[in-house]
Structure 1
Amino acid sequence: MKTYKSKALTLFKPEILKNSGAAFFDTGISAGFPSPADDFSEHRLSLDHTLVKNKETTFFARVSGQSMIGAGLNDNDLLVIDRSLEPAHNKIAVCFLDGEFTVKRLKVNAEGIWLQPENTDYPIIKITNQNDFVIWGIVTNVIKKV
């Protein structure tokens, strides 16, 4: 398994989902009143087909920290990251900044690039020519434990 590590994120290839298939009930699960169980129709669901569009360029990473809680990314959540997607304003991106991986919302305009946390306890980061900076990939999904 190919891994990349920093204090903030550990990135790895999605080999763990290879040939996985879980039971999938293709009906809406009510968050209100329950519906009769015999309405369910069981199919097989492959998470790699659902979450991974580009196998060669997709990685997973665990979130470390609280800077993106406003975007629903909590400590220990699993991110699905696609390196083939184009970075764009307002996308959530995994970036390599001055020797560390970080996940932030991209803010791009004529004046420059900023990395916007989704928690007011953390500062906005302005990218300058002095930074060692690479947009590593775009977050496409998040997997959470409940």
Structure 2
Amino acid sequence: MILHKSNNLTFFTPNQINGLGAPFFDTGISAGFPSPAEDFKEQRLSLDKELIKNKEATFFARVSGQSMIGAGLDDKDLLVIDRSLEPSHNKIAVCFLDGEFTVKRLKVNKEGVWLQPENPHYPIIKITDDNDFVIWGIVTNVIKKV
């Protein structure tokens, strides 16, 4: 269910998936040379359990734009955001800044707070008292389509 759409992010709430999860074969998949077939031991994997630690405080948002490509966040990627986590230096955060949501790396020191893009074509944003600014949540995972 879509909660909010802005220029940079579209927010969703996680839906609980009933059932046992998808089949998961815990054998490791070689990214180099193929390995001989092993006995496959099938388990069930729930992405809810893997990606969501606090369901009440977790949201999804779809990225729009290229400002975080250096951190591996590409246009149309799906972010998992936990609002219960404490923001800190170097974390990737979803922030509400002057009426818009944005995702940037937090830079925090005794001189202040900056929002650091991970693309040299975008400016670093210094947060001042004049900004309407809230750190909305911390990005915990990124889901990509291949």
| TM-score band w.r.t. shorter chain | over 0.9
TM-score, reference length from structure 1: 0.95
Structure 1 stretches of at least 4 aligned residues deviating more than 3 Å after TM superposition: none
**Distance (whole Å) between structure 2 residues aligned to residue 19 and residue 30 of structure 1:** 31
Structure 2 residue runs without a partner (length 5+): none
Aligned to 1:61: 61
CA distance in 2, matches of 1:88, 1:74: 23
| Unaligned residue ranges in structure 1 (runs of 5+) | none
CA RMSD of aligned residues (A): 1.2
Counterpart code for 1:109: N
Instruction: Return the offset for 1:41.
Output: 1.6
Please show how residues 14-53 of structure 1 align to structure 2 within 5 Å. 14-15=14-15, 17-19=16-18, 21-53=21-53
1:2, distance to aligned residue in structure 2 (A): 5.6
Query: 1:137 maps to which residue?
Result: 137
Q: Is the 8 A contact 1:22 1:44 kept in 2?
A: yes
Structure 2: distance between partners of 1:65 and 1:8 = 6
State the distance in 1 between where 2:94 and 2:4 align.
Answer: 12
% identical aligned pairs: 81
The TM-score with structure 2 as length reference comes to 0.95
Aligned-pair CA distance for 1:27: 1.9
Alpha-carbon displacement from aligned partner over 1:84-121 (angstroms, at most 9, x marks no partner): 00000000000000111000000000000000000000
CA distance in 1, matches of 2:39, 2:141: 29
Matched, 1:84 2:77: no
Task: Give CA deviations for 1:12-56 in whole Å, capped at 9, x if unaligned.
Answer: 1111x5225111111211001112333332111000000000000
The AA in structure 1 aligned to 2:17 is K
